[in-house]
Amino acid sequence: MGVHILEGKDKAVFYCSTTDWAFGPLMGSAEEAEAFLKFVPGDPRTYEDAELGVLYSDFVRQYVCECGDVADGKPGQDEEEEGKPLYGYPRTDGQRFVCEYCAKNPKRTGWNFHRPIHSI
Summarize pLDDT for 41-69 with one digit per residue, the tens.
999 999 999 999 999 999 999 999 988 88
Percent of the residues in the chain that have a pLDDT greater than 70, as a whole number: 76
Q: How many residues does this entry show for the chain?
A: 120
pLDDT at residue 108, as a whole number: 55
Helix (H) or strand (E) holding 50: helix 49-63
Rounded average pLDDT over 58-84? 75
Three-class DSSP category at 15: strand
Is the predicted pLDDT of residue 22 greater than 90, yes or no? yes
Kindly report the pTM of this predicted structure.
Answer: 0.77
Rounded average pLDDT over 7-25? 93
Instruction: Tell me the C-alpha distance between 91 and 74, whole Å.
Output: 10
> Average pLDDT over the chain, rounded to whole?
81
Closest residue by Cα to residue 97 from 54, 40, 56, 59:
59
